[in-house]
Amino acid sequence: DIQMTQSPSSLSASVGDRVTITCRASQGISTYLAWFQQKPGKAPKSLIYAASSLQSGVPSKFSGSGSGTDFTLTISSLQPEDFATYYCQQYNSYPYTFGQGTKLEIK
Amino acid sequence: EVQLVESGGGLVKPGGSLRLSCAASGFTFSRYSLNWVRQTPGKGLEWVSYISSSSSSIYYADSVKGRFTISRDNAKNSLYLQMNSLRAEDTAVYYCARPNYYDSSGTDYWGQGTLVTVSS
């Protein structure tokens, strides 16, 4: 199975900040990488697919990059609604696997 | 609008069975592959099973292989997960998920989830 390692596991930031979350795959996955946002009690919401493609309706403050084994999610100009948990996921091969999550908290 | 609505969760004793359903609307169900994904507080998000649009390809996570069965009814726009020999570690919120496009992979659209609790 492909292991997905996210860092950091938690992150404190202020409204207006720009933050970056990284995700590393244990083997190359091309650009078959997705990013999700999850708020308490809700289903994960897809933000980015194919490593850098923005899902319809997702604001452009979210951006993704990378290919192969190293990927990043960047969120610019943080707003209160952005404080949530973020997950990466590889869908290059089954079993699909997820990172352990990054909890973004308000400083 | 794409909608996926899971149902069938509940409290079940270890060794028991449960059948989850996912009712789909807002898209041509028969053209899309589908997945089940679960989430536990301890282990985070875990992919469970996949079924192709025609049911010709089916995959399972090792943790559920031999105990869970995925199926679909394209005439009823419904996806199912039959769960047998349930264990405490199967306790989770179960989601059905669909890729963006009918010829793509991934889990871009998710339902709201249904909670399965396995406890005596």
Residues A46-55 pLDDT 10s: 999 999 999 9
In a 13 Å sphere around the CA of B66, the CA atoms on its Cβ side amount to: 2
Tell me the two tokens of residue B91.
């306790």
Minimal Cβ distance to B106: which of A87, A91, A97: A91
Supply the mean pLDDT for chain B: 96
- The stretches of chain A forming alpha helices (DSSP H) are none
d(CA A4, CA A27): 9
The neighbouring-strand residues paired with A90 are: A33, A97
Which residues in chain A are contacts of B2 at CB distance < 8 A?
none
What's the average model confidence in pLDDT over B38-64? 94
The more confident residue out of B20 and B44 is: B20
d(CA A106, CA B22): 35
> Which one of A96, A102, A103 would you mutate to disrupt binding with B, by most B Cβ within 10 Å of its Cβ?
A96
Which residues in chain A are contacts of B47 at CB distance < 8 A?
94-98
Residue range B1-15, pLDDT digits in tens: 999 999 999 999 999
Which residue in A98, A63, A103 sits closest to A83, CA to CA? A103
Minimal Cβ distance to A46: which of B61, B108, B111: B108
Which residues in chain A are contacts of B64 at CB distance < 8 A?
none
Minimal Cβ distance to B47: which of A42, A45, A97: A97
